[in-house]
Structure 1
Amino acid sequence: MNTPRDYHDIPGTYVFDGEHNRKGYQLNLLCKSLDVAANRDAFRAGPEAYLDRFPMTAEQRQAVLERDWLGMLRLGGNIYYTFKLAIFDGMTMQHVGAAMSGTGMTVEQFRQMMLDGGRPIKGNRSKKERRNG
């Protein structure tokens, strides 16, 4: 697998293609399961035991337990499913966006950056551009 695609060169972008879907299937099933109140109660009562229901990789389990939002995306998570976990924790999309920035950005700083038009394009078009200036 791991077929190189043009979009793999975009920094910080994890395109949810077929390969990514297969990689994160169990992780996404876990997150989707939190739509059901009884499942949320079970997860709240014993996260480790609840995770045992889903044959995820050790890295995926750790990312869920640590709420490593960007890590979950790297490991095959779909933002729409992983956001169900964020909602379970009482977070907004702005909270997750700030956490995923990797810069220690606050929610307010993230919100303002989005209102100002987002990240500048320079240096964010491709990994190659970042390496070469």
Structure 2
Amino acid sequence: MKAKKKEYEDIPGTIVFDADQSRMGYGINMFCMSLLKAENREAFKADEEKYLDQYKLTPEQREAILKRQWIRMLELGGNIYFTSKLGATDGLSFQQVAAKMTGSTQQEYADMMLAGGRPVKGNRRKSEWEKK
């Protein structure tokens, strides 16, 4: 059975964390939440691959975690707030992780946000582009 198309699927650069994403990313999110405990952070840092063995992850999810592919983790079901725990484990602030996701420096990201965030133009639904 094919999943019904969601009305928000055509928003450029946006991954909506919904029930389907939650189910898909359960392993990523449980791994990330485990990093709330100091002993788990230490174990992960000691041997990342071995630590990940205790979580049900697809090969793609595992690779995204190990390579710190922040957007890919979200595409594969990661929740941005949970994946930020991995960033914190690496010594990164939420702002630094967000900057990596946008392909900018932390200062460029901060400046953009202080100026009001991404411009609306070009960031609305793709279906609106097709009407023009």
TM category, shorter: over 0.9
- In the superposition, the TM-score normalised over structure 2's length comes to 0.93
Match of 2:46 in 1: 45
Are the counterparts in 2 of residues 2 and 19 from structure 1 also a CA contact under 8 Å?
A: no
1:95 maps to: 96
Once the two structures are overlaid, the 10-residue window that deviates more, 122-131 or 10-19, is: 122-131
Within a 5 Å distance, the mapping from 1:1-133 to structure 2 comes to 2-101=3-102, 104-129=103-128
TM-score of the superposed pair, with normalisation by structure 1: 0.92
CA distance in structure 2 between the partners assigned to 1:61 and 1:79 by the alignment: 16
Amino acid at match of 2:29: N
Paired with 2:75 and 2:20, the residues of 1 have a C-alpha distance of 12
Q: CA deviation at 1:13?
A: 1.2
The CA deviation at 1:128 is 3.2
Q: Distance in 1 between matches of 2:129 and 2:104?
A: 21
The one-letter amino acid paired with 2:33 is K
Q: Deviations over 1:42-82 (max 9, x none)?
A: 10110000000101001100110011111100000001100
Cα RMSD, aligned residues only? 1.5
SS at match of 2:9: helix
The whole-number CA distance in structure 2 between the counterparts of 1:40 and 1:132 is 49
Q: Distance in 1 between matches of 2:63 and 2:121?
A: 33
Instruction: Quote the offset at 1:91 in angstroms.
Output: 0.6
Q: How many residues align?
A: 131
> Displacement of 1:132 after TM fit?
6.9
SS of 1:32 mapped into structure 2: helix
Is residue 40–residue 88 contact of structure 1 (8 Å, CA) maintained in 2? yes
The Cα shift of 1:2 comes to 3.6
Q: 1:130 to 1:65 in 2, by over 3 A?
A: farther
